[in-house]
């Protein structure tokens, strides 16, 4: 069974090297050898990661220039964001509840209190 496109994207993102490659490409397109530099990794190993990212639609590679620069494809990440959207209200509601609770605590703090009882002076 071929995985669905969203599963392929999540699987591609489940690797810190591939996420680091995306972070580098977010700064601008670059060549495979430039991409490989910060990693203690062979060119074939980097190429393998790039293939996974390309297959998931997360990056694209130009076929025009001979050095075939890689670029990030933000639309693919937007799809992941669209999936997350349906869950956003869950954590936002949670924060709203926490906020309401903190406001209740603060309101209690501000309530004018009866003057503290002073010990009676010794007679």
Binding site for its own copies (CB under 8 A): 3-4, 6-11, 13-16, 19, 22-23, 26, 72, 74-75, 77-78, 80-81, 83-84, 86-88, 90-91, 94
CB of 39 to its own copies, least distance (A): 15
> Distance (Å, rounded) from C-alpha 119 to C-alpha 60?
79
Closer CB to its own copies, residue 48 or residue 94? 94
Length of the chain: 123
CB of 29 to its own copies, least distance (A): 12
> Distance (Å, rounded) from C-alpha 78 to C-alpha 32?
24
CB of 13 to its own copies, least distance (A): 4
Structure tokens at 32: 């495979």
Q: At what angle do helices 5-13 and 74-110 cross, to 10 degrees?
A: 70
């Amino acid at each position: 069974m071929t995985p669905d496109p969203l599963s392929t994207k999540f699987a591609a993102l489940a690797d810190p090297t591939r996420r680091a490659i995306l972070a580098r490409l977010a700064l601008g397109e670059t060549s495979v050898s430039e991409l490989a530099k910060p990693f203690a990794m062979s060119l074939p190993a980097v190429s393998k990661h790039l293939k996974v990212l390309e297959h998931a639609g997360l990056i694209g590679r130009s076929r025009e220039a001979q050095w075939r620069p890689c670029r990030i494809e933000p639309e693919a990440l937007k799809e992941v964001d669209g999936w997350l959207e349906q869950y956003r209200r869950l954590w936002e509601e949670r924060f709203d509840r926490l906020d309401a609770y903190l406001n209740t605590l603060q309101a209690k703090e501000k309530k004018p209190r009866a003057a503290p009882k002073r010990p009676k002076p010794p007679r």
